[in-house]
Structure 1
Amino acid sequence: MEAKRETKIEDKKSNLILENRRKLTINGVIEVINFNENQILLNTDVGTMMVKGQELKMNKLDVQNGDVIITGKVDSFVYTSDKSKIKKDSIISRLFR
């Protein structure tokens, strides 16, 4: 029987670089869940991240390496709870729309 190894957030890497509130570089991205010009929702190695702003665009999307570059006016970026919980909530919320 194979023992499952639980990976902690401390064991994973994710880097953020914000330049003049106009360019956000993110490493450790697993997938892009949803995006429009005012909000981008990403799954990262350390949880789900929501980026809010104006005229947001994804200039570079390299999911194979986990790199994303977002340009536009960045107002905020927030990590929400564990990505598995967010996925479950979004599936349930999709059913009841």
Structure 2
Amino acid sequence: MRREIRPFDASEYLDSEEMIAEYLSAAIEEGPDVFLLALGDIAKAVGMAEVAQRTGLGRESLYKSLAPGSKPRYETVWKLIQAFGLKLKFEPMHG
């Protein structure tokens, strides 16, 4: 019997704001590239059409902004975070 192994898709597990917040918090600790990939996973989980509507950005623009290796503008990242129902919070590195 042959078993098929599917690649891991984080978006399949991002089913609540709490899970999304934890995932994005962990991703930002790993650096900007991982953080941006996580934004793409979350957008996929929420649904690109829904994210486009919430942000006021076009779907094609979102796909380009979230493509691996892209460098989205801060304004785009900010709109995405708000569309996911999240807020940014900073803590001291030492303490």
Flag whether TM exceeds 0.5 (same fold). Answer: no
TM-score (norm: length of structure 2): 0.25
Between structures 1 and 2, the one with greater helix share: 2
